[in-house]
Amino acid sequence: MQITKDTAVTLHYKLTDLATGQGLDAGHTAYLHGGYDGIFPRIEQALEGQAVGHATAVELAIEEAFGPRDESLVLTIPRSEFPPGVKVGGRLQRVGDDGQPRVYHVVKIKGPQVHLDGNHPLAGKALRFACKVTEVRPATAEEISHRHVHGGHGHHH
């Protein structure tokens, strides 16, 4: 079956940093095809009308991937404001200057200070997304109403 609107698509993918060639992530992902923001729009375009076994690679500019870094999201906060057990590499949610909750990554703990970064870890990077289609099936009515794929490599809830 072909990938068209309202099909559930499973991909094996490999994500690399376009500038350095460094591997960033690899695995399987499933998404609902047809403009549901389940995956980067450029990848949906590349897969439209394709079927199981199709392989492609898309190069994503920074703006097409996770956007440029925003240095205003880099914060230094007193360690005393944090629950015990905060570790480098951990994440926590706090309300940003814009009043919206945002996930911050703990990048460094230095003495009494914790350095946080609210940018997506892949912000500021151009990416290469290589993938191979491993499954295509019609999405269920429930998946379409939820705007995402369930089970397997999709959402579990």
Shortest spacing between CB 142 and Zn ion, in angstroms = 7
8 A C-beta contact, residue 8 and residue 146: no
Shortest spacing between CB 131 and Zn ion, in angstroms = 23
Q: Under DSSP, is residue 79 helix (H, G, I), strand (E, B) or coil? A: helix
Shortest spacing between CB 106 and Zn ion, in angstroms = 30
| Residue of closest CB approach to Zn ion | 146
Pick 120 or 147: Cβ nearer Zn ion: 147
Pick 153 or 155: Cβ nearer Zn ion: 155
Pick 14 or 146: Cβ nearer Zn ion: 146
Pick 125 or 148: Cβ nearer Zn ion: 148
Shortest spacing between CB 146 and Zn ion, in angstroms = 3
Exposure pattern of 40-49 as b/e (b: 16+ CB <10 Å)?
beebbebbee
8 A C-beta contact, residue 135 and residue 23: no
Torsion of CA 128, 46, 48, 39, to 10 degrees: 30
8 A C-beta contact, residue 40 and residue 29: no
H or E element that contains 146: helix 141-146
Pick 120 or 155: Cβ nearer Zn ion: 155
Q: Give the C-alpha separation, 31 to 139, whole Å.
A: 10
Shortest spacing between CB 137 and Zn ion, in angstroms = 16
Q: Which residues contact Zn ion (rule: CB under 5 A)? A: 146, 155
